[in-house]
Structure 1
């Protein structure tokens, strides 16, 4: 019986070493899932499906709190603005007519404002714990997309991008509002 104590101690120590060295990614069942937070947050936004689809594939969302989810959505707003600007520049290079050139130029300035003002404002406000200014930034981005669409008087080549930006920004504002 006395000879088995060192053997038991050895197995016990090995078990501890194995548990400590298992990567966190393999311990998903030991960590609380953030899917409930994502789902309950998205239910309080104007577009549950888009919110859920966006956050579930975003890195960091599985461990984020509501403020972290809002920051992720601000990053998505930034990506949407960059996508829209790229398409605007492509369209400008294709020889649009004067009326469309004016509308494209106006839209470019609107999306630049999203990147230069709205996204940094929302990011900084969330990082500093001042969600009201983050909500304002998200709402401004949604408005810029709406105004860009109206610049074309019903014949916009940017409808898809404008709708995407508006929807993502509206979701962002709704998530930020949960922090107020």
Structure 2
């Protein structure tokens, strides 16, 4: 199921890696796979927020951009992830897609705020990739 589903996403290897790293993946249906990936978005958002908080202390010149990123990643955690989980749980994938898309948009907006000198590039690129893979799977439910 994981291989077949991941072949329909923009990043087969990332998809397989993420889903195989979760014990629920081997027995999940498409909706369950999407929920696993939404959990991965949540974990990455928490990791990124922790990184932002650490950078606040050592990179005061980036205070404004880091503050903007902090707000964007809090939006991912407080709005986008809960919206996607609720929608997938209730069988309304369109709203799940909205939340997943927004997580990628928030990450992109964070990155742009640094004007090419972002200390968060690897994390924001990861969020964009995971969001893209998750969206592809959510779209299979539409």
Matched, 1:56 2:28: no
Partner of 1:119: 81
Displacement over 3 Å in runs of 4+: none
Which residue in the other structure is 1:88 paired with? 52
- Secondary structure of the residue aligned to 1:60 is helix
- Between the aligned partners of 1:87 and 1:54, the Cα distance in structure 2 is 21
**Length-normalised TM-score, structure 1:** 0.78
Q: Distance in 2 between matches of 1:169 and 1:79?
A: 12
Normalised by the size of structure 2, how large is the TM-score?
Answer: 0.98
Q: Which residue of 2 aligns with 1:139?
A: 101
Shift of 1:95: 4.1
- Structure number with bigger Rg: 1
Match of 1:164 among 102, 126, 139: 126
* Structure with the bigger percentage of helix: 2
- What's the secondary structure of 1:50's corresponding residue? helix
TM-superposed deviation, 1:40: 1.1
**Other-structure match for 1:41:** 5
SS in 2 for 1:134: helix
What are the superposed Cα offsets for residues 50-101 of structure 1, whole Å, 9 maximum, x if unpaired? 001110111200000000000000000000000000000000011421xx11
In 2, the alpha carbon distance for the partners of 1:114 and 1:45 equals 22
**Any gaps of 5 or more consecutive residues in structure 2?**
none
Mind listing any 5+ residue stretches in structure 1 that lack a counterpart?
1-36
Find 2:110's aligned residue among 132, 143, 148. 148
- The structure, 1 or 2, with the larger RCO (C-alpha pairs under 8 Å, 6+ apart) is 2
* Residue equivalent to 2:70: 108
Task: Report the Cα distance in structure 2 between the residues aligned to 1:175 and 1:70, rounded to whole angstroms.
Answer: 6
Residue number in structure 2 paired with 1:177: 139
Distance 1:71 1:127 in 2: 8
